């Protein structure tokens, strides 16, 4: 995870400068448009984990093989639909972009759209194999191939950019790496995990139960895509690719921020479904899940608070030196407007899988659907008034209202998660980190600097102060062990040698 973030932060400014503001904005506009077609997955990936956990508990391999075959058929059909939709958009770009692009940008957009459509249509059936690996909790393997892909992508893309292939070269590399990744996953599932795919008759009533479960997951997928991509699409339509580029710089930092949280919570998905299948007593189950919710949330907050506060104190100067002076102020506000409100759902995203495991995800789907429409309406008006910052404001308001208030009430009242205990723990951490925040505030307000080495030294100094406060004041003993145990093992190995 750290390697992926470092590579992303190193590679992105190079890509921005080699592509230029206009083409970088176009690249983000097209990728955001195609990404919105991922709503066609309808949440079936999460459904697989639910049913796999149930069949594994019963040790029924035949049902697992039939489940594999059923999902491969479903996602192959979805891939075909995605291909048709993408080809339609490729030939009717004016439906999406209106007059936001120049004729040259329309021509380039068609090529990018076609290549990304092919990539997306292939990714649907291939996602079945990575889902199977995840359901088997082989996270080390998934993270390893993800890390290799993160390293290879910029290493291969950078020479192509320097040779003049520009955004088309980037998309071709993405397509090739995804295909290679897919073949590796296929090999791992069939050869290493010994999974089979049976296309015989499935369990009676499974399809109806499956679609009943996924219909509200589909709404969640739609909402996530709206919140992730609609800002850039609307900016491309009303403000042009320059505004998209400004937004994309802030959003790229927000993407790394999200990844820090989901990389932690994602490994708990199979465990949550196991708890629901193996713990019949409701009170006992709620107690176990509340403890897990608080435990994971604390760890996520300790990590995210460092990044969020660092963005607040150093973000404007960092973006100016990192991406260029033309992005500094606006992209900084975009990043803050996305990062700070989203911290609430990001430290509580374990609740999403708890809802799904309990089959109580309908309310969230409806609440998020209302939020998504409100976000679209606000963004249409605000992006025309305030550009990229206006688009981010609409998303920020949506996060605060729905995630900060509505979902916390639902977790407490309906899922019986101990939300007061959760926020008591978070506030205790915040209070104990105040000395670190005070140091960051002093640097922010009173220290002037204009060079990268000075900025990195100040960031390092703040990080050290934060870690000292976290280890000595904010963390409990279990959290200290999570940090110190690997260091002790490394020290022991060095001394042994």
Would you report the helix, strand and coil content of the chain in percent, each value rounded to 5? 85, 0, 15
pLDDT of residue 427: 95
257 and 172 in a common domain: yes
480 and 346 in a common domain: no
Place of tokens 């009170």: 283
Highest mean pLDDT: which range of 24-33, 47-56, 243-252, 302-311:
302-311
470 and 409 in a common domain: no
Instruction: Look up residue 277 and give its two tokens.
Output: 């299948």
Q: What are phi and psi of 200, to 5 degrees?
A: -80, -170
- Over residues 209-226, the pLDDT tens digits come to 777 666 666 677 777 777
191 and 244 in a common domain: yes
Question: Rounded mean pLDDT of 434-461?
Answer: 92
| Mean model confidence pLDDT for the chain | 83
382 and 497 in a common domain: no
Q: Which residues are within 8 A (CB) of 411 and not within 5 positions of it... i.e. 6 or more apart?
A: 348, 351, 417, 419
420 and 441 in a common domain: no
pLDDT of residue 474: 92
32 vs 388: CA distance, rounded Å: 15
41 — pLDDT class (breaks 50, 70, 90): low
Q: Which residue would you say has higher pLDDT here, 250 or 154?
A: 250
Q: Is 433 within 8 Å of 305 (Cβ atoms)?
A: yes
pLDDT of residue 463: 94
Boundary-marking domain end, from 414, 432, 450: 432
Q: Which residue would you say has higher pLDDT here, 330 or 490?
A: 330
350 vs 144: CA distance, rounded Å: 23
Domain residues for 106? 2-432
Closest CA to 388 of 319, 438, 452: 319
Question: Rounded mean pLDDT of 451-475?
Answer: 93
Distance of CA 343 to the CA centre of its chain: 13
Is pLDDT of 418 > 80?
yes
Least confident of 261-275, 379-393, 441-455: 261-275
CA distances for 492 relative to 477, 483, 487, angstroms: 21, 15, 9
489 and 367 in a common domain: no
| Count of domains forming the chain | 2
Distance of CA 60 to the CA centre of its chain: 33
Question: Rounded mean pLDDT of 131-141?
Answer: 82
Percent pLDDT > 70 in the chain is 91
71 and 83 in a common domain: yes
pLDDT of residue 363: 83
Q: Which residue would you say has higher pLDDT here, 107 or 306?
A: 306
106 and 164 in a common domain: yes
219 and 111 in a common domain: yes
Q: Which residues are within 8 A (CB) of 61 and not within 5 positions of it... i.e. 6 or more apart?
A: none
pLDDT of residue 62: 82
- Please state the length of the chain: 497
Question: Rounded mean pLDDT of 277-295?
Answer: 83
Q: Is 205 within 8 Å of 62 (Cβ atoms)?
A: no
Determine how many CB atoms are found less than 10 A away from the CB of residue 278.
10
- Over residues 141-169, the pLDDT tens digits come to 888 888 788 788 888 888 888 777 788 88
469 — pLDDT class (breaks 50, 70, 90): very high
- Over residues 365-403, the pLDDT tens digits come to 788 888 888 888 998 899 888 888 998 998 898 888 888
Is pLDDT of 464 > 90?
yes
75 — pLDDT class (breaks 50, 70, 90): confident
pLDDT of residue 365: 77
Highest mean pLDDT: which range of 93-97, 210-214, 224-228, 341-345:
341-345
Boundary-marking domain end, from 398, 432, 466: 432
pLDDT of residue 15: 82
270 and 235 in a common domain: yes
Closest CA to 105 of 161, 153, 168: 168
CA distances for 14 relative to 11, 18, 21, 317, angstroms: 5, 6, 12, 17
pLDDT of residue 306: 94
364 and 468 in a common domain: no
pLDDT of residue 204: 64
Is pLDDT of 325 > 90?
no
Q: Which residue would you say has higher pLDDT here, 419 or 263?
A: 419
Boundary-marking domain end, from 404, 432, 460: 432
DSSP state of 101: S
């Amino acid at each position: 995870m750290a390697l992926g973030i470092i590579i992303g932060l190193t590679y992105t400014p190079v890509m921005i400068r080699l592509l230029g503001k206009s083409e970088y904005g176009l690249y983000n506009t097209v990728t955001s448009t195609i990404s919105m077609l991922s709503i066609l997955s309808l949440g079936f990936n999460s459904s697989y984990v639910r049913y796999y956990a149930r069949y594994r508990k019963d040790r029924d391999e035949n049902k697992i093989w039939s489940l594999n075959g059923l999902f491969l058929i479903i996602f192959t059909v979805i891939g075909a639909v995605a291909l048709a939709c993408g080809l339609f958009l490729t030939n009717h770009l004016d439906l999406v972009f209106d007059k936001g692009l120049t004729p040259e940008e329309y021509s380039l957009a068609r090529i990018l759209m076609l290549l990304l459509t092919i990539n997306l249509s292939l990714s649907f059936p291939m996602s079945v194999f990575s889902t199977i690996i995840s359901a088997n909790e082989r996270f080390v393997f998934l993270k390893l191939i993800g890390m290799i892909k993160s390293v290879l992508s910029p290493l291969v893309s950078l020479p192509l950019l320097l040779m003049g292939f520009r955004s088309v070269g980037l998309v071709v590399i993405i397509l090739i790496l995804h295909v290679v990744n897919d073949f590796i996953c296929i090999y791992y599932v069939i050869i290493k995990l010994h999974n089979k795919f049976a296309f015989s008759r499935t369990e009676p009533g499974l399809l109806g139960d499956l679609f009943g479960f996924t219909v509200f997951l589909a709404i969640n997928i739609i909402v996530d895509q709206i919140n992730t991509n609609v800002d850039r699409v609307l900016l491309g339509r009303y403000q042009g690719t320059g505004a998209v580029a400004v937004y994309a710089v802030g959003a790229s930092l927000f993407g790394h921020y999200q990844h820090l949280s989901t990389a932690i919570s994602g490994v708990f998905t199979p465990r949550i479904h196991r708890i629901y299948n193996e713990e019949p007593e409701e009170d006992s189950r709620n107690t176990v899940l509340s403890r897990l919710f608080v435990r994971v949330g604390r760890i996520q907050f300790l990590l995210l608070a460092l990044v969020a506060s660092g963005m607040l104190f150093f973000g404007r100067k960092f973006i100016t030196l990192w991406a260029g002076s033309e992005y500094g102020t606006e992209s900084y506000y975009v990043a803050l407007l996305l990062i700070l409100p989203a911290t609430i759902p990001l430290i509580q995203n374990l609740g999403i899988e708890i809802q799904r495991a309990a089959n109580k995800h309908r309310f969230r789907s409806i609440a998020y659907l209302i939020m998504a429409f409100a976000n679209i309406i606000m963004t249409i008006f605000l992006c025309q008034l305030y550009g990229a910052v206006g688009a981010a404001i609409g998303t920020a308001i949506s996060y605060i209202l729905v995630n900060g208030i509505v979902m916390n009430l639902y977790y407490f009242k309906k899922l019986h998660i101990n939300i007061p205990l959760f926020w008591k723990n978070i506030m205790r951490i915040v209070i104990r980190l105040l000395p670190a925040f005070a140091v960051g505030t002093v640097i922010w307000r009173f220290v002037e600097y204009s060079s990268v080495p000075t900025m990195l030294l100040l960031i390092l100094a703040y990080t050290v102060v934060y870690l000292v406060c976290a280890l000595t004041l904010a963390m409990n003993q279990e959290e200290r062990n999570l940090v110190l145990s690997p260091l002790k093992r490394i020290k022991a190995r060095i001394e042994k040698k």
